[in-house]
Amino acid sequence: MKKIFNSIILYAGLFIAFILVISCLQLYENANRLFGSKSSDSNYWLTFSKKLTPDNIGRKELLGFNENDVAKLKKWSEIKTVYPFSANEFKASANGGDFIPFYTDLYFEGLDLKAIDVPLTDEEFQVKGDVIPIIISREYLNLYNYGFALNQGLPQISEDFAKKIEININIVVNKQNKTYKGRMVGLSDRIHSVLIPKKFLDSLNLAEKPQLANQPKIYNRVLVQVKDSGDEGLISKMKENNYESNQESLRSAKIKSKLFLVLKAIAVLGIFIFALCLYIIVSFIKIQFLEKQEEVSIKNSLGYSPKKMVSDISRRFSINLMTVLALSLILIAAGQYFLAKSSVSNGLLSIYINPWLWTAIIIIPILVYFFVKELIYRWLLRSWKI
């Protein structure tokens, strides 16, 4: 009875250890899917601008990024790519006509289409006739619907409907007024700006200020693709260079780093429990041999190989270990399925656990088999002088 109780405690401990370690591995992958990872495939986007100080206020040459700044940023090991923003050098305004009676001054920015999170081709995102395709931040539309429209008695508009509306864009270049039709072609969650085709914007800038062609380029801000926005090295370099970025993105990265720290702590605890269980298993088998010392000695004298006896015990234990591992993985797979289906995952998680985790059912029992067999056999030879 005592032996059965000890076995139950032993395998229950192993079950908890496997649950802790494997859960941490799966949660690590889930966290990477939700927050991005430090791997070369991950994509974090940050918008860098320089901090306003009494020395650089109103001085574009100091407040903006020149080609030298951009070249230095590209050399940072934490950064994958840099995309400078082009800003309008001309006056622009918009009005909604009779349907949405509003008027506002506008600013435009241009950016490489590869950096914009709206699935458009170069053909789709270019000026055709007098129609300018526009991409705005999704936050701007929300601001209009839930702030401006309600307070001003204007109609609220959905995303689909907004793409069907044309507004009047008034541009002043070389003291000449030009009127275009602006049509929204997409909403960006990554970039808080009003984006129009970069080539079109640059051409209007040169038309307004031809001298820009012979001057060093100055960008008000830059969009950077980084490996990990929570990287301490990146944050340290940003502080050194007085660069600022989206605090929400940095906050998410800090949450991710704290989450990973907790997962590592839990994984270490699981490994400790697993090592403790292995120690108990070895002691357990040793006690079995001690209790059956006479039986083992008789079998040895009859020709039974001590190595084979140890091997049989190790094999039996490895099979039990395999069963415990399978139960652990099935439980975690079920948990992953329900987590992926829940609203928390927001459709970003896989309903399956990492396929490599299933290989643990084979690898761990085989490793433990050889480990236990060699350890016990050496102990047997040394203790009993067989």
- Concatenated DSSP letters of 226-251: ES-TT-HHHHHHHHHTTEE--HHHHH
Q: What is the pLDDT of residue 384?
A: 60
Q: Per residue of the chain (386 residues), give pLDDT as tens.
A: 666 777 777 788 778 878 888 887 888 777 767 665 554 445 578 889 998 888 877 787 788 899 999 999 999 988 889 999 999 999 999 887 776 677 888 899 999 999 998 888 989 999 998 999 999 998 888 888 888 777 777 778 888 888 888 888 999 988 889 999 999 999 998 888 999 999 999 999 999 998 888 888 899 899 998 877 667 788 888 889 988 887 666 666 667 667 777 777 777 777 877 777 777 777 777 777 777 667 767 776 777 777 777 787 788 888 888 898 899 899 999 988 888 888 766 677 788 888 888 888 888 888 888 887 887 777 777 766 55
Cβ neighbors of 200 (< 8 A, separation 6 or more) are: 110, 126, 127, 132
The reported pTM is: 0.60
**In whole angstroms, what is the distance from residue 349 CA to residue 30 CA?**
6
Straight-line distance from the first to the last Cα atom of the chain, in angstroms, rounded to the nearest whole number = 31
**In whole angstroms, what is the distance from residue 86 CA to residue 151 CA?**
33
Q: What is the pLDDT of residue 1?
A: 65
Q: What is the pLDDT of residue 40?
A: 46
